[in-house]
Amino acid sequence: ELKVEQNPLFLSMQEEKNYTIYCNYSTTSDRLYWYRQDPGKSLESLFVLLSNGAVKQEGRLMASLDTKARLSTLHITAAVHDLSATYFCAGGGSEKLVFGKGTKLTVNP
């Protein structure tokens, strides 16, 4: 059964700094999703990664996938306050997605 682990679970960053969130998964997953969730809100899709070596970027966020290492990363460049949120990764070999516990990101001035 697929297990998805994110780390760190909590991340306090300073503005303008760079950091990376890691998402490890235990068995084969043919796709990897990243979502953002603001408090009390729904999940907003950020990226869908489908193949080994896939890299996608949107603004200050860049996601990559290494299927051999069973690892996806979400890199944050020059953080700004409005990136504060909880970020989830999710994977699956079928239609059933398994989510990580989430990384709560706080960007401080």
Partner 1 sequence: GAGVSQSPRYKVTKRGQDVALRCDPISGHVSLYWYRQALGQGPEFLTYFNYEAQQDKSGLPNDRFSAERPEGSISTLTIQRTEQRDSAMYRCASSIGGRGDTIYFGEGSWLTVV
For binding to partner 1 (CB under 8 A), which residues are involved? 4, 30-31, 33, 35, 41-43, 45, 48, 50, 88, 90, 94-102
Min dist CB 33 to partner 1, Å, is 7
Q: For residues 104 and 9, is the Cβ–Cβ distance under 8 A?
A: yes
Beta-sheet pairing, 103-108 with 85-92: antiparallel
**Residue 93 C-beta-side C-alpha neighbours within 13 Å:** 11
Closer to partner 1 by CB, 45 or 68: give it.
45
Q: Minimal distance in Å, beta carbon 90 to partner 1?
A: 7
Which residue, 14 or 59, is less far from partner 1 as judged by CB? 59
Closer Cβ to partner 1, 2 or 80, answer by number: 2
Indicate the SS3 state at residue 89: strand
Answer whether 68's CB lies under 8 Å from 82's CB.
no
Residue among 22 and 80 whose Cβ is closer to partner 1: 22
- Could you tell me the smallest distance in angstroms from the CB atom of residue 104 to partner 1? 9
- DSSP secondary structure code for residue 53 in this structure: T
